[in-house]
Amino acid sequence: MPDLDIDALLAELTLEEKASLVIGGDFWHTAPVERLGIERVMVADGPHGLRMQPDGGDHVGIGGSAPATCFPTASGLASSWNRSLAAEVGAALAQEARVQGVSVILGPGINMKRSPLCGRNFEYFSEDPYLAGELALAMAAAIQEQGVGTSLKHYAANNQEDDRLRVSAEVDERTLREIYLPAFERVVTGCQPWTVMCAYNKVNGTYASEHHWLLTEVLREEWGFEGLVVSDWGAVHDRVASLVAGLDLEMPPSKGRSDVAVVEAVSSGALAPEVLDRGVRRVLRLVSQAMPTKDATPPEPAYEAHHALARRAAAESAVLLRNDGTLPLALSDGQTLAVIGPFATAPRYQGAGSSQVNPTTLDVPLDELRAQLPTHVHLTHADGFGLDDSSNDAALLAEARDLARQADTVVLFLGLPAAAESEGFDRTHLELPANQLAVLETVAQVSNRVVVVLANGSVVRTSAWEDRVGAVLECWLGGQAAGGAVADLLTGAGNPSGKLAETIPLRLEDNPSYLNFPGDSQKVVYGEGLFIGYRAYDALALEVSHPFGFGLSYTSFSLGSPSVSVAGSVGDELCVSVTVPVTNTGAVEGAEVVQVYVSDPAASVRRPEQELKGFAKISLGAGESGEVQVDLDERAFSYWSTRLGRWVVEAGEFVLRVGTSSRDLPHAHSIDLDAPSVAGPLDRDSTLHEWLADPRGRDVLLGAFDSTGSAGFIDDDLIHVIGTMPLSTLAGFGLGGFNHDLLDKLVSEL
């Protein structure tokens, strides 16, 4: 089908038809206009697997969706730190979307993990905006290369489920710019997603769906977004106000209300016709984008290949948190492996809510382990605890204790039950369920070879128990093939290479958002500002269970001293290249993630101790060496100046720290960057310190002091006391003849 002639269609559409187009047709489709040949376009949930709801589905997110491959959730995939893997998953999602007639996948979700309690954290990548942006860009670009659109969500500052449809996120602009918006910016500027989905919540008192600054000034005018802004389902409160702000499509449609309001507003003159036309034009552009793929013959379903990809993705997403040599399992004939936990036979592999996928198949961990273990290794299993019913826990615990006592090695499958985390509500603590902890303690008393395999969407506290076991493998919610991936990793058929995309704190109270989460009275104050995740733990020098970027392997790696080259300059295509030699010093093949953090030790504003600004993953055989190159652009050294209203780089020293986690950075390299002054213009209310720090201001001011005979009053000791005073205040003192008239003259000279 040829591209739609949007200008011609706009001229022919009636006011009522235009109003219908900007509110959608039904729960999962845009509105058609059959008389003009405008077809409807289907959208579907799909951050980690397609949830295409046919007409008989429940639409809320529980059941009735068509089968699709369930990949690891974002919390898992982020731990791979692998852009190429994220792209492979994206391409697979797009292929399945085409098979099912879906034109736009509602994802990826890239909100920051401000608190580990957010019930939807399993759908989000990281506590770090750079990592989230890089992986989301890889996924979204790969989806759209297949002719299927994406919907970047949830824009913006949607970091909790508690009161999510009403709560106002009270957050300053610098924090928004440096923490909560960069991942969105990276994807928008990197691949122009077809749609961006606005969040439910308010931002500083204004609903995201009506937020002109977010939807128009930042998204379109600054970042150059060309696509369509769609509401989260049910996020529109005032259709006319949201149109004015820049929200193009309301989903699902509020027929008989929103369309009527739009028609009445245009008819009365309250809404300019060109504002409505702007939204209609963007809807028609989306329909036009979708037509070539929609009308083409869909690809053959590749579910077997996608299941294999899901298995590889699950293996690469798992993070080995602890290992005293217990893993990989080394069991000989006649030995016994006891597997304990209901997750071994009924795995928890995805989150609950709108992203819940109906998998094409499901690997069962116990079955996969049985298939990989040597024939004469005895495999036993006990539940050990109940998931939804704890009435029989005492008997289950006794059975687990007996099996563990008789076994050579025990693998405990623990984690959060589905009822503990979901879209719609937040968690209240970080602990594993009490009956699971009781099993762990009991088993650890009778066995000295215990492995814990975790299944959870967001972090759980490990500090209370991990020293009681030999190994801990964090598998997140690994998708439909997680059972096979876990078996691969336990037996050594695969080697863990995942790295934490979020910090695991010693306790919930250490989290920087603790005192301000989830807020109250329909407000949540982002009082920690820039300092979320590792930025806060580093600034406070807090011990953590496992730092951001951490993950063990069955092999070992050595990073050589990095070489650094600088090309260009600030304001003129600056590129700092960091090349790092890497050697696999162990006995098996493995992969390492080289991480580059930037520190500004002498910043004039408060900045985090260090921030992730680059990474690269490299796979090496035993004894093999290679190198990675990480390129840093000007943005890697910038901060958002609220005074100047733009990104700035301060001249001076920057330190590049290179290593394998935020707390393991053995290499540091200093560079000096020349940059224009970021000091604002001097005025009457600039302080004495600020005048003296500016070369021209200092000369003018000291000259004035000399001319009035007041220079003798200004010595270092006095400056130390009065340096923070505005010159207007000092002029009021009349010190040595320095007065308001003289200050006005100095300001005029500058």
What pLDDT is recorded for position 710? 63
Amino acid at 383: D
Confidence of residue 253 (pLDDT cuts 50, 70, 90): very high
With 60 as the cut, is the pLDDT of residue 56 above it? no
Between helices 740-749 and 695-708, what is the axis angle to 10°? Answer: 140
With 80 as the cut, is the pLDDT of residue 735 above it? no
Q: Two tokens at 501?
A: 């995309």
pLDDT digits (tens, 9 = 90+) for 332-359: 889 999 999 999 999 999 998 877 999 9
- Average pLDDT taken over every residue of the chain: 94
* 3-class DSSP assignment, residue 48: coil
Please enumerate in sequence order all residues whose Cβ is within 8 A of that of 374, keeping only pairs 6 or more positions apart, or say none: 331, 332, 333
For tokens 């098979």, what's the residue? 99
Q: Two tokens at 216?
A: 């128009």
What pLDDT is recorded for position 621? 98
> Helices marked H in 111-231 — which ranges?
129-145, 173-175, 182-191, 212
For tokens 């369309």, what's the residue? 259
What pLDDT is recorded for position 63? 60
Pairing of strands 202-203, 557-559: unpaired
Catalogue all structural domains in the chain, each as residue range(s) with its CATH number: 6-295 (3.20.20.300), 310-522+538-544 (3.40.50.1700), 557-673 (2.60.40.10), 688-749 (no CATH)
Out of 128, 232, 363, 488, which one is annotated catalytic? 232
Q: b/e for 127-158, b at 16 or more Cβ within 10 A?
A: bbbbbbbbbbbbbbbbbbebbbbbbbbbbbbb
With 90 as the cut, is the pLDDT of residue 734 above it? no
User: In the 8-state DSSP scheme, what is residue 112?
Assistant: -
Please enumerate in sequence order all residues whose Cβ is within 8 A of that of 244, keeping only pairs 6 or more positions apart, or say none: 210, 212, 271, 275
The DSSP-derived string for 321-376 is EEESS--S----TT-EEEEESGGGTS---S-SSTT---BS----HHHHHHHHS-TT
pLDDT digits (tens, 9 = 90+) for 289-341: 999 998 889 889 899 999 999 999 999 999 999 999 999 999 988 999 999 99
With 60 as the cut, is the pLDDT of residue 46 above it? yes
Q: Can you give the pTM of this predicted structure?
A: 0.95
Determine the Cα–Cα distance for residues 333 and 320; give it in Å rounded to an integer: 26
Residues 331/373, Cβ–Cβ less than 8 Å: yes
Confidence of residue 711 (pLDDT cuts 50, 70, 90): low
What pLDDT is recorded for position 345? 98
pLDDT digits (tens, 9 = 90+) for 587-613: 999 999 999 999 999 999 999 999 999
With 80 as the cut, is the pLDDT of residue 57 above it? no
Confidence of residue 72 (pLDDT cuts 50, 70, 90): very high
Handedness of CA 388, 115, 485, 479 (dihedral sign): positive
What pLDDT is recorded for position 698? 86
Q: For 621-690, where are the E strands, in sequence order?
A: 625-633, 639-641, 646-648, 652-659, 667-673
For tokens 């580093």, what's the residue? 538
Q: Two tokens at 604?
A: 């004039």
What pLDDT is recorded for position 7? 96
Cα-based distances in Å from 466 to 117, 338, 431, 454, 599: 21, 19, 12, 12, 32
pLDDT digits (tens, 9 = 90+) for 108-157: 999 999 999 999 999 999 999 999 999 999 999 999 999 999 999 999 99
Establish whether 694 is a catalytic residue: no
With 60 as the cut, is the pLDDT of residue 276 above it? yes
Q: Two tokens at 486?
A: 């876990």
pLDDT digits (tens, 9 = 90+) for 164-182: 999 999 999 999 999 999 9
pLDDT digits (tens, 9 = 90+) for 649-687: 999 999 999 999 999 999 999 999 999 888 778 899 989
Amino acid at 214: L
pLDDT above 90: percentage of residues in the chain:
85
Confidence of residue 709 (pLDDT cuts 50, 70, 90): low
Confidence of residue 743 (pLDDT cuts 50, 70, 90): confident
With 80 as the cut, is the pLDDT of residue 737 above it? no
Determine the Cα–Cα distance for residues 252 and 495; give it in Å rounded to an integer: 45
Pairing of strands 557-559, 563-569: unpaired
Determine the Cα–Cα distance for residues 632 and 540; give it in Å rounded to an integer: 27
Confidence of residue 714 (pLDDT cuts 50, 70, 90): low
Confidence of residue 713 (pLDDT cuts 50, 70, 90): low
Confidence of residue 221 (pLDDT cuts 50, 70, 90): very high
What pLDDT is recorded for position 74? 97
